[in-house]
Amino acid sequence: MMNKIALIIKREYLTRVKKTSFLVMTLVGPLLMAALMIVPAWLALKDKDVQIVEVIDETGQFINQFESTETLKFDHQFISIEKAKEDFYETKYTSILYINSLDKNAEVEMFYKKQPGVSTIKQIENTIESAINSIELKNKFNITKDQLEESKSSITVKTIYRDITGSEESKSSTISSVLGLAGAVMIYFFVFMYGIQVMRGVIEEKTSRIVEIIISSVKPFQLMMGKILGIALVGLTQFILWMVLTGTIVTVAQVALNQSIDMSSTPPGIEEAMQGQNIQLDKQKMLTQFESIIDEIPIFQMLFSFLFYFLGGYLLYAALLAAIGSAVDSEADTQQFMMPVTIPLIFSFVVAQTVIENPDGAMAFWLSIFPLTSPIIMMVRIPFGVDAWELILSMVLLVLGFVGTTWMAGKIYRTGILMYGKKVNYKELWKWLFYKG
């Protein structure tokens, strides 16, 4: 029995990896993923919003208040706004900032010949607000802004998990959310993509009558399992190649463009926005904090869990989709059966954000151990920390779920794969489940 399944796996694997579409997607996929990481950073650094602003300040309160940066320079001019606008296109300035009021709700006008970016406008707004606040503090309370800043405190809540044995562990909610959601998206994407391939493969063989020849040599269950496992290997092969090629392309691109792209640098727009909000950039401190956060992430547990839930989720859903493919004569007939099968997968993806908000809640727990939703929900929870018994329970139930759905799918597949020209409904599928023949 195992030899025949192995032969089917080999046939499915070699047939699919030799296809031109597999080779094209394997090469194009990493290029697209690398482009998504490199191009935005390259564009952010190449396409800088350089502004030279002529400041016309009728209040006289903003002299030397605006701090120039590499891409945003301020130059105070003591001329009328009419004169500034008249000479605008004969000067080097890209914008004229006109301030004529200290009112807290005043509108400050900015005339431009080059559209200023959102971060530029935000920095100007923050600077003006800060200056007006300083004047208010001085006039009403006789204190300066610096004195007020000295009185301010800066509190950061560091969350630390303490287990029953007294062991303590701190985690970053932001990094955990990003990692959890990224793992869930990848599993959702791969389960759907390769599960649909199984269903289409079954329909193709059934409609071409090739399956009748194959069934004469192997049992329907062996054929179904071989097809599911063969495509699973194709998926793993493509996933590993994508990761390796994407990492290689990104590394080579960083080295080749090191002079123009520094991926660790802060984009100018963000830097200016942070300066505008008086957020001090301490890159060394940020790097130390980032390294500390990375050390706290259970990398090996996440990689192992990702592979397990990817394979478990794929095998479970692929068995159901193979059963659907065997019961219909064309892809158009699959719609009535697809919805109930895919709803748990889509639902778990939709509630993933809610689970991130409360990863230890009742909903997160039950959805992470239910086999149809655990591949996505458990991946969302793992970066936040999950008790070992919960993880083991979820994995055991996923394996049992796979065995159960495979048994059910095998029953339907055995009958449906040789059934032609008959419109199948749920009542008919129910009969096939208990058909003895």
Q: How confident is the model at residue 403 (pLDDT cuts 50, 70, 90)?
A: confident
- Greater confidence (221 vs 363) lies with 363
Q: Give, rounded to a whole angstrom, the gap between the first and last alpha carbons of the chain.
A: 19
Q: How confident is the model at residue 279 (pLDDT cuts 50, 70, 90)?
A: very low
Q: How confident is the model at residue 367 (pLDDT cuts 50, 70, 90)?
A: very high
Predicted pLDDT at 264: 47
**Identity at 67, one-letter amino acid code:** E
Predicted pLDDT at 189: 84
Q: Which two tokens stand for residue 416?
A: 């449906």
Q: Which two tokens stand for residue 201?
A: 């493969």
Judge whether residue 396 has pLDDT over 90. Answer: yes
**pTM of this prediction exceeds 0.85:** no
Least-confidence region, from 132-146, 245-259, 280-294, 297-311: 280-294
Q: Is 336 helix (H, G, I), strand (E, B) or coil?
A: helix
Tell me 166's DSSP state: S
- For residue 101, which phi and psi values (nearest 5 degrees)? -155, 150
All residues at 6 or more sequence positions from 104 whose CB lies less than 8 Å from its CB, including other chains: 132, 136
- Per the listing, tokens 């399956």 go with 211
Q: How confident is the model at residue 289 (pLDDT cuts 50, 70, 90)?
A: low
DSSP H/E element including 219 = none
Judge whether residue 266 has pLDDT over 60. Answer: no
Q: What whole-number percentage of the chain has pLDDT above 90?
A: 5
In terms of Cα–Cα distance, which of 200, 221, 401, 199 is closest to 311? 401
Given a contact cutoff of 8 angstroms between Cβ atoms, the answer to whether 4 and 220 are in contact is no
Q: How far apart are CA 32 and CA 22, in angstroms?
A: 15
- For residue 57, which phi and psi values (nearest 5 degrees)? -115, 100
List, in sequence order, the alpha helices (H) in 142-172.
Answer: 145-151
